[in-house]
Structure 1
Amino acid sequence: MGARFEELAWRETPIGTISLRRRRDPALDVDVYEVKLDDDFLMSSLFPVAEIELARLGLAPLGGNDLDVAVGGLGLGYTARTALEDPRVRSLVVVEAIEDVIDWHRRQLLPFAAGLAPDPRTRFVRADFFAAVADGDGLDPEQPGRRFHAVLLDVDHSPRHVLHPSHAPFYTPDGLRRLAELLHPEGVFALWSDDPPDADFGRVLAEVFPTSQAHVVGFANPLTGGESANTVYVARR
């Protein structure tokens, strides 16, 4: 057993100080990996269920094989790693704004994400997801305007609670239309949210996508001994 607490990495960024830490939870007898932005917790390995379901729910509506998938936001890697578990996925582009987060995975600091970086289907793109969508070049700098069968996004807390004001225009009809242009016909956009289903955002999705649904993903909360829930929106072009 290692130290009870260890800060594995940290960096000042334009949106604050991001850090990765590992702590031993004596009550649960597990190592917990956490990502913080300043004093705000972004992600914990104690609660991976909704990040995993983001990939599963996002890929479930798609038929056929040879799927090209983009993930916005790398974090602890649960969404990207789960996408690779689908044998239909032939390529995975992971768009992450912070180089250090990509480096965590290249250095194999996260044991539960093992295999993500070395997988030949994976390519990391160091870029601002929201700016890449807005400027029209798309999510793959090697192929401007490239289309994907699914885009899975987990960056902000929710469409109402964004990490930076520059992200807010994405969650409007105009922003989502730009995203839809990067999807193949019948392609899927899936979004993680920490808030309950938002009827106003549901109406925004309905302006752009013919079908959309908000899935409530419940999971056991070992800190409270009760249940918690996140939302996964799934919209199809």
Structure 2
Amino acid sequence: MIPWTVLDTAPVPDGLGELRLKRRGDEFSIMAGATELMNSRLSGSEKALATLACERLGKRPALRLLIGGLGMGFTLRAALGEVGGDARIVVAELVPAVIAWARGPMAELFGDSLTDARVSLFEGDVARLIGAGPAAYDAILLDVDNGPGGLTRAANDGLYSPAGLAAARAALRPGGLLAVWSSAPDGAFTTRLRRAGFAVEEARVRAHGKSGARHVIWLATTGAGGTKSPSTRPPVPPRRGRD
């Protein structure tokens, strides 16, 4: 068997330890300690995070999506395949090295997704964009850490707290959707979503094809009413230089 090669390491801001990017043949893995956060052969649930969310949004014009976590780009690429030419997608990535890996050793996975005119890349905490303005997005897709029970960064817990969920709900347009990826179920998080005023659906999705572990995607929707203005546009982060 081909051995794993460590390509690079990166510290986790305000977190525990570091991330490691590994490669074995054409397979990539990102590790945090002994925990594998993502693997290029196990992308089914990351793609489903985007496809399930877009299915529920329907054919809305000028969709505005916020993706928290760049990862290996599977959620972004799936979203680009679902939305129209007038859509705009902002991707927030906290770890600068993950962006560098996307443009460097993992560029083959990303294809032309990072140079798509519909995409803006924000280097920083997704919570900053969530709190930047009300009614900015049709959907917020979070694939941060390993789910609501964070492993790599304690500050991630704030996204899933009652205050974090209230901020996410305020950042959504009427009828908007919060989609959250997790490696495992979390009944307490489902309860928090409902208490925050969301209607909640839990989808169990295979990591790969019809086999492998089942991951969880929460699809939490707001009501169609409310006082938010659907014409509000999200803050547009500055584009980073492209390699």
| TM bin (shorter chain) | 0.7 to 0.9
**Does 2:176 correspond to 1:187?**
yes
- Tell me, what secondary structure is at the counterpart of 1:155? coil
Q: TM-score, normalised by structure 2?
A: 0.81
**Does 2:50 correspond to 1:55?**
yes
Post-superposition offset of 1:220: 4.5
Give the aligned partner of residue 199 of structure 1: 187
Return closer, same or farther for 1:188/1:32 CA change in 2, 3 Å cut-off.
same
8 Å Cα contact 1:95-1:127 kept in structure 2: yes
User: 1: distance between equivalents of 2:213 and 2:33?
Assistant: 24
- Tell me, what secondary structure is at the counterpart of 2:37? strand
Specify the code of the residue in structure 2 equivalent to 1:122: V
Unaligned stretches of 5+ in structure 1?
Answer: 25-30, 138-143
Return closer, same or farther for 1:167/1:11 CA change in 2, 3 Å cut-off.
closer
Give the aligned partner of residue 234 of structure 2: none
Q: How does 1:43-192 map to 2 (within 5 A)?
A: 43-63=38-58, 64-88=60-84, 90-107=87-104, 109-130=106-127, 132-133=129-130, 136-137=131-132, 144-145=133-134, 147-192=136-181
Unaligned stretches of 5+ in structure 2?
Answer: 223-243
What is the aligned-residue identity percentage? Answer: 28
8 Å Cα contact 1:151-1:189 kept in structure 2: yes
User: 2: distance between equivalents of 1:71 and 1:10?
Assistant: 23
Post-superposition offset of 1:93: 0.5
Q: How does 1:16-27 map to 2 (within 5 A)?
A: 16-24=17-25
Give the aligned partner of residue 233 of structure 2: none
Q: Give the CA RMSD over aligned residues.
A: 2.2
Q: TM-score, normalised by structure 1?
A: 0.82
- Give the total of aligned pairs: 217
Greater RCO, 1 or 2 (C-alpha within 8 Å, sep 6+)? 2
User: 2: distance between equivalents of 1:79 and 1:98?
Assistant: 17
User: 2: distance between equivalents of 1:84 and 1:104?
Assistant: 20
Give the aligned partner of residue 231 of structure 2: none
Question: Which piece of structure 1 moves more, 71-80 or 104-113?
Answer: 104-113
**Does 2:206 correspond to 1:211?**
no
Post-superposition offset of 1:212: 1.1
